[in-house]
Amino acid sequence: MIWITRQRPKIDRLACPWLILRFVDKDAQFLFVPTEQVIEKAKNLGGIPFDVPDVEFSHYGQDCTFDYILKKYELTDPALQTMAPIVRGADTDHHELAQQAAGLWAISAGLAHNIQDDYALLTQGIIIYDALYSWATHLQNQKHTQQPEEHLLLRFFTTYLHEIRDRKLNPPPWAAELKELIQDHIDTNLSLSLSTVAQSLQVNPTYLSRAFAQYFDNLTFGDYIRKLRIEKAIQLLETTSHSLSEIAYLTGFSDQSHFTRIFKKMMGQNPSQYRKNNSKRKAGPNG
């Protein structure tokens, strides 16, 4: 079958031919023509126009043509599903959809700048998307860095944040478990950095911050961690005789002054006042 689209391809018009050749029609032929000639050429040649307005194989809402082909032919390969937001993000300038989207755009734009012949450009594009598919199939969890602590963070979070791009209001299955795991980190006085987590997950930090708030009390990552630290501090104030300095250390604050300031901001009173008032409440009217 002949597939026809606009000339000077960059993202969707290279990704779609790759997808068609590899998963839909291995004998497909592609023509790149001026925009105004796409529909006419398709009619004359009995071909399929794509990635132009008012045709079947095109953009729908926020989805690009690559997305439509996946749905049309029911291509459920997990690697292709991983590639989809990367292609969509690069093609629609929504790089927050996948960390790799900005890189794909940069490589594709540079490739189109260097190669003026569209068919030579397609040949090189096929190589790029073969490589991206191999990464999505075999190498997503393989990191270039050799730092063991980064690998530990990756293993810790990947299971629970793999669906971080899901914007649904209903909490995903990992949300409750993630809360417990974050609490475990708080209990062992470990610090978690949103930027480090985002880098390990290959998720845009801004997008991760926004998605995190949706499932964690509408709080930012930092505010949620501080909330848990204060909750732990309250427990220690009520059940132990630890000094305020010791509680500040056990709850991950830099010093007693920092602990007192955050506690008062959140609770309306400083830790020593809270402990005194709690003792009075326990003693009761006859205490």
Give the CA distances from residue 149 to residues 145, 196, 200, 213, in Å, rounded to whole numbers and listed in that order.
Answer: 10, 10, 10, 25
d(CA 143, CA 129): 20
How do beta strands 2-6 and 29-33 pair? Answer: parallel
pLDDT of residue 192: 62
pLDDT of residue 221: 76
Give the amino acid at 28: A
CATH topology of domain 224-283: Arc Repressor Mutant, subunit A (1.10.10)
Cross-strand bridge partners of residue 29: 2
Q: What is the DSSP letter of 97?
A: G
> 48 — phi, psi (to 5°)?
-110, 115
Annotate 204-253 with DSSP letters as a single string: -HHHHHHHHHHHTTT--HHHHHHHHHHHHHHHHHHH----HHHHHHHTT-
Per-residue pLDDT tens listing for the chain (287 residues)? 999 999 999 999 999 999 999 999 999 999 999 989 999 999 999 999 999 988 999 999 889 999 999 999 999 999 999 999 999 999 988 888 888 999 999 999 999 999 999 999 999 999 999 999 999 999 887 766 555 545 555 555 555 455 544 444 455 544 555 555 565 555 555 456 666 656 655 556 666 667 777 777 778 777 887 888 888 889 999 999 999 998 888 887 778 888 899 999 999 999 999 999 988 887 766 54
d(CA 75, CA 78): 9
Would you tell me how many other CB atoms lie within 10 Å of the CB of residue 220? 14
Q: Where are the domains of the chain?
A: 2-139, 148-218, 224-283
